[in-house]
């Protein structure tokens, strides 16, 4: 007689060691797990809501300056160190982990116009209204020593900006023209100019390091090639560009912060049309800085807020503001791509999280998987109206809110007028100009 | 409008006239006639201007920039001054006389020659410069296109970006560190070895190796240019030195010497201030010079010249002076310089001897040859490294003490053992001769010890080596052994022979170091001709090899999943027919049971009723606007008249046909559910092109409830991963496998960049 017995292979359920995970047999038959879409939808909705609940981006305010903060610089080797220059000529070096000021230098008389660190982090440069370029050591003077710059270069005109080369001992200043300096020399190696106007900022390309971009007050952005010592091309926009920033991951992409409340991302090989127009600010954009991942950038505006834009989106994903923050003059994204610093008119430097609802500190693996899953869910259901509404909801100060409304109306009116003009004129006589092309006046070869 | 303009022009003209007249009038103020003439002219002009006021027959007034053009003091009117003088006009009178034929010819020749075009103005040139530069830059930038594209579309980017390991080890290197342990493995390798399978196949041919090391054409060109430059500079300096050497003037040389001495002193002072260590070294050099002097006694009165001078010294003041000078120099040289560390004479002597062995000048020459030219340095070190790499897997790691002997080995050709051993002997003997020195350094002492031991072993070795086969690889091994001790050699060699796996024997392909060196030398020339794509293909192929099996496993995994999720229909069909009959009976029974259970309720009728109601409800309703009691009696039981009702009844329009009109068993509710609508997407979002696409993405769940662990992990990978506390640097060419230009931007600027290259000029011409 045959005896039927239940028999199981112990390999299927016995752990080899104590530390092994318990094997949980699961049946993935879809009939056993119904309503996958609604269930995931609810999860996504909850995740979105929780994200808004936990969105507390403000971390710290570094106070100590006695005038508005005019410029910021990151330390290339240390994440905790930040340098700032104020409108009274004072330069401070901060420690972000301790949130205090390490060192104070009275660097210039009048504004500190620009500050930049050397690529190795051993020293930094400042330019000021007193027509000087000064090089300082990064670590403070020893006991009994006086605080003195390593080098001082006296110029003939005011320098309005400075940037350091990413690999070599070269830096560039701007003012009436763009000067390239060797660190060892007291006169520029070469100076490049195209037209006569005060240039407000100059930036080295971080990837192809011989490229420079500058923006001048006659509304143009000029690109230079340092090796050939010649300007390359010039694009004239509707209004003045305050500063530009190169994408650290894409050699030919840069973003310009404009006075007309917009930011323009250009491919430098095709300057006649910006790749993207980023619009959300309600006042002049004063500064812009890319995230080191090259996927997003942050912009500081005169409207007392900073906004974070994805590179490929025209609308911002985040806006930061506080009651006490006045016009934001400078902004920087830290080089671990986790934090944002902004310096504003009311003498404070503020530290924000780049991702408002991110949990700081070490995550357990379960937390990590949950975070990833929630993120993916939010992405998946981002177009659903409820989720979209919650995810997009931001509290804004009244001034910005009303400005947005006003500008929406203005824009709508302009659009309506354009449509009417198009409708009532001979077909083809009124050209349809796309939003991207509208702001570019000319490209000069 | 035109009148006003004309008036304006008139005014301007008059002003101009006055201005022009001023200098004219000045010298001619005495003659009134001229003044009158001027007045007449003015009048004429005025008349003309007035006549041109009507605008019809306005003609262009002759413009003049210089007053003396039209009216000169010789009253010669220069009418037609604007016309150009043509050569043929000048030739006309010449035509008649035949004697001037040669001149005519010459003139004709001149006429046929083209005039040189005017250079472009500065703005134009700059514009062209800019355009050329822009084109060049955008070309260099477009090499980033594929990378940017890849990064944008990447599923996941992990920062900081690490350099991918592009260097791969050839299979023989991998296999060297691995030994067949089990008998099965050994058997397999024996088999493979017989067919020379895995060893010979993937081995790189010399050409391939060279091509791996090759640099890009651009880099090679740059390097060649650098070399040329260096060579030119060198020859220039040589020529200069020769020229200076030829100068016979004693005074010149004296001055030169003095200048040099002064300079040296100054430099030394500076050095002492800035770099004490280097100053010490300098002092040591002085010490050495002193020693040389003491040894040679060059500046004492023993030389030929000195003797002759000594004779003359009695009579000649100058000669005496020279003698004294020389003695002073001797004193100066032999004077001991105080060095901080106690430097004994013996030590100094030793040092000197050491220096004799390896003369300083040689090193210096090396330095000067390599110093200004980083290219050469790099290549040199590269070769050395290469050689080491070649050696390392085959040799056991050496202790530090034996490094010197190692380097010797590198230099030595390893072709023939006999030669090698001879050389070894020679060297040793040379060393012995040169120094019976007890070296202060322990390292070198060890070396000598090894040497002495090797001498004893040598005879044994020779005998042994003759027995052994002449495989170069093994020969090298022996050398290593010899550099150590007798015992180890004896122990190692048989062991090495026995243990050596068959894989390591490379009968034909084994290369001597000599060959390799030759190869590397050739490499730099060959690489220019070698087509790069071929090289890349090779790499690609090699890279693909390991990836192929991976793919297979992936596919298998997917299959497994499919099996898990989909029910296998074959199970049912396989069922035995007898069981089917049984099942049929069971089904019938079940049907019966259901019928009995639901005997009371008529489902179908209920459904029909429900549908009718739904249809009624969805029909648009008529609007009745009759007001009872308006215009007639009203009250209980009274109804408005039919006529009135007909008049005030607004008939609703017929709605569109219901979708379930022809579907008897279905009720389709066409009303929009507002509650649901709040959660539904109204417009197709941007990246999707069709609603089905979008729906599909929504329908596929990503949670771990519906997916296996691995699938879940894959589905939820974040797009950007950053490491906390790590600085993310901008992308570099090296990170993505490009060669970045090795020249620094600074060096490029400092060479005058404003000069146009030939290519620029060509482009300029094109424009």
Q: Model confidence over A261-308: pLDDT tens digits?
A: 999 999 999 999 999 999 999 999 999 999 999 999 999 999 999 999
Evaluate whether A73 touches A124 at the Cβ level (below 8 Å): yes
For residue A237, give Cα distances in angstroms to A217, A268, A287.
Answer: 11, 14, 17
Among the ranges given (A351-365, B128-142, B358-372, B658-672), the one the predictor scored with the smallest mean pLDDT:
B358-372
| A214 occurs within a structural domain | yes
Evaluate whether A134 touches A180 at the Cβ level (below 8 Å): no
Inter-residue long-range contacts of B317-324, CB under 8 Å, 24+ positions, other chains counted: none
User: What b/e sequence results for B407-428 when a residue is b if at least 16 CB atoms lie within 10 Å of its CB, and e otherwise?
Assistant: eebeebebeebeebbeebeeeb
CA gap B295, A374 in Å, rounded: 87
pLDDT in tens, B683-702: 999 889 999 999 999 999 99
CA gap B215, B209 in Å, rounded: 12
Reported residue count of chain A is: 445
This model of the complex carries an ipTM of 0.91
Interval B378-391 mean pLDDT: 45
- Residue B83's closest CA among B62, B103, B104, B101? B62
Q: What pLDDT is attached to residue A406?
A: 96
Whether A28 and B707 lie within 8 Å, measured CB to CB: yes
Tell me the average pLDDT of chain A. Answer: 93
- Residue B104's closest CA among B112, B114, B95, B113? B95
Whether A207 and B565 lie within 8 Å, measured CB to CB: no
pLDDT greater than 70 at residue B477? no
pLDDT greater than 50 at residue B378? no
Q: What pLDDT is attached to residue B691?
A: 92
Q: Is A216 exposed, middle or buried (0-12, 13-18, 19+ CB in 10 A)?
A: buried
Whether A252 and B144 lie within 8 Å, measured CB to CB: yes
Q: What pLDDT is attached to residue B264?
A: 87
Please name the residues in contact with B393: beta carbons below 8 A apart, sequence gap of 6 or more.
B173, B176, B177
3-state DSSP percent of chain B in helix, strand and coil, to 5: 65, 0, 35
| A227 occurs within a structural domain | yes
CA gap A247, A253 in Å, rounded: 6
Whether B746 and A77 lie within 8 Å, measured CB to CB: no
Interval B669-690 mean pLDDT: 87
Mutate to test the interface with A, among B122, B123, B134 (most CBs of A within 10 A): B134
- Identity of the residue in A167, A223, A445 whose CB atom sits nearest the CB atom of B131: A445
Measure B744 CA to nearest chain A CA, in Å.
8
Please compute Rg for chain B using Cα positions: 52
B679 interfacial to chain A (CB closer than 8 Å): yes
Measure B254 CA to nearest chain A CA, in Å.
37
B710 interfacial to chain A (CB closer than 8 Å): no
Cis preceding linkage at A190, omega within 30: no
A91 vs B97, higher pLDDT: A91
Window 144-203 of A: residues touching B by CB (8 A cutoff) are 165-170, 180, 182, 189-190
pLDDT in tens, B271-283: 888 888 888 888 8
CA gap A82, B275 in Å, rounded: 35
pLDDT greater than 70 at residue A373? yes
B338 vs B721, higher pLDDT: B721
Please name the residues in contact with B611: beta carbons below 8 A apart, sequence gap of 6 or more.
B660, B667
Percent of chain A scoring above 70 in pLDDT: 100
User: What b/e sequence results for A31-45 when a residue is b if at least 16 CB atoms lie within 10 Å of its CB, and e otherwise?
Assistant: eeeeebeeebbebbb
pLDDT greater than 80 at residue B145? yes
User: What b/e sequence results for B283-295 when a residue is b if at least 16 CB atoms lie within 10 Å of its CB, and e otherwise?
Assistant: bbebbeebbebee
**Any idea what DSSP says for residue B398?**
P
**Any idea what DSSP says for residue B99?**
G
| A70 occurs within a structural domain | yes
Q: What pLDDT is attached to residue B56?
A: 53
Residues from chain B contacting residue A445 (CB–CB below 8 Å): 127, 130-131, 134
Structure tokens at B216: 């890009």
Whether A336 and B701 lie within 8 Å, measured CB to CB: no
Residue position matching structure tokens 């005039």:
B115
A228 interfacial to chain B (CB closer than 8 Å): yes
Mutate to test the interface with A, among B710, B739, B749 (most CBs of A within 10 A): B749
Measure A227 CA to nearest chain B CA, in Å.
5
Q: 3-state secondary structure string, A293-343?
A: CCCEEEEEECCCCEEEEECCCCCCCEEECCCCCCCEEEEEECCCCCEEEEE
Window 130-169 of B: residues touching A by CB (8 A cutoff) are 130-131, 133-134, 136-138, 140-142, 144, 148, 151, 157, 159
- Residue B147's closest CA among A210, A332, A208? A208
Structure tokens at A98: 């301790």
A336 interfacial to chain B (CB closer than 8 Å): yes
pLDDT band at B38 (very low <50, low <70, confident <90, very high): low
Name the closest residue on chain A to residue B751, using Cα atoms. Answer: A227
Please name the residues in contact with A266: beta carbons below 8 A apart, sequence gap of 6 or more.
A221, A235, A253, A254, A255, A256, A274, A275
Transcribe B50-84 into DSSP letters.
Answer: HHGGGSSS--PPPP-S-TTTT--TT----TTTTSP
pLDDT greater than 70 at residue B166? no
- Residue B522's closest CA among B253, B214, B278? B214
pLDDT greater than 50 at residue B386? no
| A386 occurs within a structural domain | no
CA gap B739, B377 in Å, rounded: 19
CA gap A116, A347 in Å, rounded: 19
Residue A107 belongs to what domain range?
Answer: 58-353
Mutate to test the interface with A, among B143, B151, B728 (most CBs of A within 10 A): B728
pLDDT band at B372 (very low <50, low <70, confident <90, very high): very low
pLDDT in tens, B576-623: 445 556 678 888 999 888 888 877 778 888 999 999 998 888 888 888
Q: Which helix (H) or strand (E) element contains residue A74?
A: strand A69-74
Please name the residues in contact with B546: beta carbons below 8 A apart, sequence gap of 6 or more.
none
Tell me the average pLDDT of chain B. Answer: 67
pLDDT greater than 70 at residue A331? yes
Measure B758 CA to nearest chain A CA, in Å.
14
pLDDT band at A416 (very low <50, low <70, confident <90, very high): very high
Q: What pLDDT is attached to residue B358?
A: 40
B753 interfacial to chain A (CB closer than 8 Å): yes
Residues from chain A contacting residue B148 (CB–CB below 8 Å): 249-253
B336 vs B278, higher pLDDT: B278
pLDDT greater than 90 at residue B290? no
| A157 occurs within a structural domain | yes
Q: What pLDDT is attached to residue B476?
A: 46
Q: What pLDDT is attached to residue B97?
A: 64
Percent of chain B scoring above 90 in pLDDT: 13
Q: Is A124 exposed, middle or buried (0-12, 13-18, 19+ CB in 10 A)?
A: buried
| A50 occurs within a structural domain | no
Size of interface A-B (CB pairs under 8 A): 181
Interval A236-255 mean pLDDT: 94
Q: What pLDDT is attached to residue B65?
A: 56
Q: What pLDDT is attached to residue B412?
A: 44
B674 interfacial to chain A (CB closer than 8 Å): no
Reported residue count of chain B is: 767
Evaluate whether A183 touches A169 at the Cβ level (below 8 Å): yes
B102 interfacial to chain A (CB closer than 8 Å): no
Whether A206 and B678 lie within 8 Å, measured CB to CB: no
B598 interfacial to chain A (CB closer than 8 Å): no
Residue position matching structure tokens 């009311």:
A346
A360 vs B758, higher pLDDT: A360
| A37 occurs within a structural domain | no
Count the domains in chain A. 1
CA gap A327, A323 in Å, rounded: 11
pLDDT in tens, B422-467: 665 666 666 655 544 444 444 444 444 444 444 444 555 555 545 5
Measured CA angle at A356 (ends A355, A358), to 5 deg: 65
pLDDT greater than 60 at residue B368? no
CA gap A97, A351 in Å, rounded: 11
CA gap B736, B147 in Å, rounded: 8
Q: What pLDDT is attached to residue A401?
A: 95
Structure tokens at A310: 């994805």
A229: left (phi over 0), alpha (psi -120 to 50) or beta: left
Mutate to test the interface with A, among B123, B129, B130 (most CBs of A within 10 A): B130
Measured CA angle at B635 (ends B632, B636), to 5 deg: 145
B486 vs B113, higher pLDDT: B113
For residue B643, give Cα distances in angstroms to B624, B626, B649, B651.
Answer: 13, 10, 10, 15
Q: What pLDDT is attached to residue A97?
A: 92
Q: State the first-to-last Cα distance of chain A, in angstroms, to the nearest integer.
A: 98
A39 interfacial to chain B (CB closer than 8 Å): yes
Evaluate whether B706 touches A33 at the Cβ level (below 8 Å): yes
CA gap A234, A222 in Å, rounded: 4
User: Helix H segments across B598-670?
Assistant: 603-618, 642-648
**CATH number (domain holding residue A312):** 2.130.10.10
Q: What pLDDT is attached to residue B721?
A: 92
| A33 occurs within a structural domain | no
Among the ranges given (A154-163, B145-154, B332-341, B497-506), the one the predictor scored with the smallest mean pLDDT:
B497-506
- Longest Cα–Cα distance of chain B, Å, equals 173
Q: State the first-to-last Cα distance of chain B, in angstroms, to the nearest integer.
A: 43
Window 346-385 of A: residues touching B by CB (8 A cutoff) are 362, 369, 372-373, 375-377, 380-381, 383-385
CA gap A294, A297 in Å, rounded: 7
Please compute Rg for chain A using Cα positions: 27
Please name the residues in contact with B100: beta carbons below 8 A apart, sequence gap of 6 or more.
B94
Interval A130-146 mean pLDDT: 89
């Amino acid at each position: 007689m045959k005896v039927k017995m239940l028999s199981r292979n112990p390999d299927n359920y016995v752990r080899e060691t104590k530390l092994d995970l318990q094997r949980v047999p699961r049946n993935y038959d879809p009939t056993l797990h119904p309503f996958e879409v609604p269930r995931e939808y609810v999860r996504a909705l909850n995740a979105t809501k929780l994200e808004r609940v936990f969105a507390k981006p403000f971390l710290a305010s570094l106070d100590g300056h006695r005038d508005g903060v005019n410029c910021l610089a990151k330390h290339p080797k240390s994440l905790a160190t930040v340098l700032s220059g104020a409108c009274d000529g004072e330069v401070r070096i901060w420690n972000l982990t301790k949130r205090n000021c390490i060192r104070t230098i009275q660097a210039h008389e009048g504004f500190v116009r620009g500050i930049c660190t050397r690529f190795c982090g051993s020293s930094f440069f400042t330019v000021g209204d007193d027509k000087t370029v000064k090089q300082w050591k990064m670590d403070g003077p020893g006991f009994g020593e006086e605080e003195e710059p390593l080098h001082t270069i006296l110029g003939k005109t005011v320098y309005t900006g400075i940037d350091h080369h990413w690999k070599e001992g070269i830096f560039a200043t701007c003012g009436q023209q763009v000067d390239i300096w060797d660190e060892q020399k007291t006169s520029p190696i070469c100076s490049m100019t195209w037209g006569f106007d005060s240039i407000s900022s100059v930036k080295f390309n971080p990837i192809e390091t011989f490229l420079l971009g500058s923006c001048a007050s006659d509304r143009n952005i000029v690109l230079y090639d340092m090796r050939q010592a010649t300007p390359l091309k010039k694009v004239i926009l509707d209004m003045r560009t305050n500063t530009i920033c190169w994408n650290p991951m894409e050699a030919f992409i840069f973003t310009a912060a404009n006075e007309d409340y917009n930011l323009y991302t250009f491919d430098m090989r095709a300057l006649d049309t910006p790749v993207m127009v980023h619009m959300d600010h309600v006042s002049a954009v004063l500064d812009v800085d890319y995230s080191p991942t090259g996927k997003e950038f942050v912009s500081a505006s005169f409207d007392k807020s900073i906004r974070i834009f994805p590179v490929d989106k025209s609308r911002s994903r985040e806006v930061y503001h506080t009651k006490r923050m006045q016009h934001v003059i400078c902004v920087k994204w830290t080089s671990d791509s986790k934090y944002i610093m902004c310096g504003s008119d009311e003498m404070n430097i503020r530290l924000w999280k780049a991702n408002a609802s991110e949990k700081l500190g070490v995550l357990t693996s379960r937390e990590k998987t949950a975070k990833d899953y929630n993120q993916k869910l939010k992405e998946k259901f981002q177009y659903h109206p409820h989720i979209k509404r919650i995810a997009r909801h931001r509290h804004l100060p009244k001034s910005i809110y009303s400005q947005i409304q006003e500008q929406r109306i203005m824009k709508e009116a302009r659009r309506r007028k354009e449509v009417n003009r198009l409708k009532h004129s001979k077909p083809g006589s009124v050209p349809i100009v796309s939003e991207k092309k509208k702001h570019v006046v000319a490209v000069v070869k | 409008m035109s009148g006003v303009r004309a008036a304006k022009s008139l005014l301007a003209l008059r002003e101009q006239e006055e201005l022009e007249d001023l200098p004219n009038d000045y010298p001619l103020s005495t003659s009134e006639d001229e003044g009158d003439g001027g007045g007449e002219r003015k009048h004429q002009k005025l008349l003309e201007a007035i006549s041109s006021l009507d605008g019809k027959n306005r003609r262009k007034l002759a413009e003049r920039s210089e007053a003396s053009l039209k009216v000169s003091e010789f009253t010669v009117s220069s009418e037609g001054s604007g016309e150009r003088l043509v050569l043929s006009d000048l030739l006309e009178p010449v035509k008649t006389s035949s004697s001037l034929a040669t001149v005519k010819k010459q003139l004709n020749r001149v006429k046929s020659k083209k005039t040189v075009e005017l250079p472009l103005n500065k703005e134009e040139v700059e514009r062209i410069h800019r355009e050329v530069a822009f084109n060049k830059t955008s070309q260099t930038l477009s090499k980033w296109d594929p990378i940017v594209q890849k990064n944008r579309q990447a599923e996941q980017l992990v920062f900081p970006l690490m350099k991918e390991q592009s260097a791969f080890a050839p299979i023989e290197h991998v296999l060297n560190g691995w030994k067949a342990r089990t008998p099965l493995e050994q058997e397999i390798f024996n088999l493979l070895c017989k067919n020379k399978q895995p060893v010979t196949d993937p081995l790189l041919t010399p050409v391939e190796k060279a091509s791996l090391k090759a640099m890009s054409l651009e880099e090679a060109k740059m390097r060649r240019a650098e070399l040329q430059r260096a060579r030119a500079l060198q020859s220039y300096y040589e020529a200069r030195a020769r020229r200076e050497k030829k100068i016979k003037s004693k005074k010149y040389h004296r001055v030169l010497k003095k200048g040099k001495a002064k300079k040296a002193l100054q430099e030394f002072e500076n050095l002492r201030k800035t770099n004490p260590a280097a100053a010490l070294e300098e002092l040591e050099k002085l010490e050495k010079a002193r020693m040389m002097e003491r040894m040679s006694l060059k500046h004492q009165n023993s030389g030929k010249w000195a003797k002759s001078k000594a004779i003359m010294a009695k009579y000649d003041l100058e000669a005496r002076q020279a003698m004294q000078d020389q003695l002073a120099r001797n004193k100066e040289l032999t004077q001991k310089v105080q060095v901080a560390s106690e430097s004994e004479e013996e030590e100094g002597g030793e040092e000197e001897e050491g220096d004799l062995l390896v003369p300083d000048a040689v090193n210096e020459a090396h330095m000067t040859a390599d110093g200004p030219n980083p290219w050469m340095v790099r290549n040199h070190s590269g070769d050395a490294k290469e050689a080491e790499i070649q050696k390392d897997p085959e040799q056991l790691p050496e202790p530090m003490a034996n490094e010197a002997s190692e380097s010797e080995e590198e230099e030595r050709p390893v072709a023939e053992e006999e030669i090698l051993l001879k050389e070894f002997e020679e060297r040793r003997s040379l060393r012995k001769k040169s120094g019976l020195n007890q070296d202060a350094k322990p390292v070198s002492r060890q070396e000598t010890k090894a040497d002495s031991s090797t001498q004893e072993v040598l005879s044994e070795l020779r005998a042994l080596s003759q027995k052994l086969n002449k495989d170069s690889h093994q020969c090298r091994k022996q050398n290593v052994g010899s550099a150590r001790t007798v015992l180890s050699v004896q122990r190692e060699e048989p062991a090495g022979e026995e243990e050596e796996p068959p894989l390591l024997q490379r009968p034909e392909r084994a290369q001597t170091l000599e060959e390799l060196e030759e190869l590397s030398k050739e490499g730099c020339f060959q690489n220019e001709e070698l087509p790069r794509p071929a090289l890349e293909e090779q790499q690609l192929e090699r890279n693909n090899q390991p990836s192929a099996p991976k793919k297979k496993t992936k596919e298998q995994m997917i299959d497994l999943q499919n099996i898990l999720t989909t029910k296998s229909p074959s199970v049912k069909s396989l069922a035995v027919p007898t069981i089917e009959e049984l099942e049929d009976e069971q089904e019938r029974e079940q049907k019966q049971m259901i019928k009995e259970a639901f005997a009371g309720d008529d489902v179908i009728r209920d459904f029909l009723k429900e549908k009718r109601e739904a249809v009624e409800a969805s029909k648009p309703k008529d609007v009745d606007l009759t007001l009872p009691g308006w215009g007639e009696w009203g009250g209980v039981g009274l109804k408005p008249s039919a006529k009135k009702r007909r008049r005030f009844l607004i008939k609703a329009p017929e709605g569109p046909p219901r979708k379930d009109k022809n579907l008897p068993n279905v009720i389709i509710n066409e009303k929009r559910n507002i509650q649901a609508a709040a959660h539904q997407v109204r417009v197709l979002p941007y990246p999707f092109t069709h609603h089905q696409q979008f729906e599909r993405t929504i329908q596929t769940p990503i949670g771990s409830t519906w997916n296996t662990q691995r699938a879940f992990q894959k589905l939820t990978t974040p797009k950007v991963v950053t490491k906390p506390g790590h600085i993310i640097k901008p992308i570099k060419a090296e990170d993505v496998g490009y060669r970045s230009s090795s020249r620094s931007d600074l060096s490029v600027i400092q060479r005058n960049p404003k000069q146009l290259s030939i290519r620029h000029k060509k482009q300029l011409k094109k424009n």
